[in-house]
Amino acid sequence: MRRSERIALISNTLSRNPNKIISLNHFSQWLGAAKSSISEDIDIIKKAYKNSGQGDIATIPGAAGGVRYRAKRSLDDINAFLHDLSEVLRDQKRIIPGGYLYMTDIMFSPEYSSTIGEIFAQIFIDKGPSHVLTVETKGIPIALMTARALNVPMVVARRDSRVTEGPSVGISYVSGSGQKIHNMSLAKRALPENSRVLIIDDFMKGGGTAQGMTELVGEFKAQVVGVAMVIATAVPKEKLVSDFTTLLVLEGIDAQKGEINISINEQLM
């Protein structure tokens, strides 16, 4: 096999398995090449990824070592993506009666959700999350893509417990906006004790749902290492969750004028 062919296969394997350490022996046996040749191939890939801003390739030393790919975008790339996303969300056709914003198509888009997941993974990877948690249903695609980029399991809190998931832990929480009581449950076997949990959701207004997930994590004797939203409203300014990250800020919706005021979170940039 020629070097160009090996490089194509190695880079494809690494990008399809983000944050997973793959041994040089695996590539050597699979591609029928010496480990020294594989190391040279990886050096070429590493330089190409670094120069193009496509991600970070790291060589992990030791008996359990190998090579690992992590998605890593520049601030300029992140800013450009969020600018385009905010422009899409400003379309007045997205205004739903009652002053709501339609964004289900964005959350369930493989293109948008995968990029958002990579951004969240890049922000929180140093926190060492072992699990990604969301609540059904619109946050699932974003959480799944974040879990994929981190190479950790995703777990979903249910509005109602499911018999098919076995015994579960349930809590009641108060929504931050409507002051209504809601229920949330998670299967007992879904989250091991002492897990490090990254909470992901699509939208935050008052922060009640995020606070509910935080309390649910506590019932499992696990630790929340981060809370992230795609969009958070500017009002109310004080949320029930004080420490969270949002990509976009929804300042307001004027249904009569057909205007959606949404901006990039400057603190993120």
Q: Which residues of the chain have pLDDT under 70?
A: 176-178
pLDDT at residue 39, rounded to an integer? 95
pLDDT at residue 118, rounded to an integer? 97
∠ at Cα 196 (192, 198), nearest 5°? 115
pLDDT at residue 178, rounded to an integer? 64
DSSP labels, the chain = --HHHHHHHHHHHHHHSTT--B-HHHHHHHHT--HHHHHHHHHHHHHHHHHHTS-EEEEEPSTT-EEEEE----HHHHHHHHHHHHHHHT-GGGEETTTEE--HHHHT-HHHHHHHHHHHHHHHGGG--SEEEEETTTTHHHHHHHHHHHT--EEEEBSS--GGG-SEEEEEEE-TTT--EEEEEEEGGGS-TT-EEEEEEEEESSSHHHHHHHHHHHHTT-EEEEEEEEEEESSSSS-S-SS-EEEEEEEEEETTTTEEEEEE-TTT-
Tokens of 177: 């906006």
Rounded-to-integer distance, Cα 11 and Cα 54, Å:
11
pLDDT at residue 176, rounded to an integer? 63
Rounded-to-integer distance, Cα 101 and Cα 84, Å:
17
pLDDT at residue 98, rounded to an integer? 82
Provide Rg for the chain, Cα atoms: 21
Q: Which domains, ranges and CATH numbers included, belong to the chain? A: 3-70 (1.10.10.10), 75-264 (3.40.50.2020)
Rounded-to-integer distance, Cα 4 and Cα 66, Å:
20
Q: What is the pTM of this model?
A: 0.93
pLDDT at residue 62, rounded to an integer? 84
pLDDT at residue 65, rounded to an integer? 84
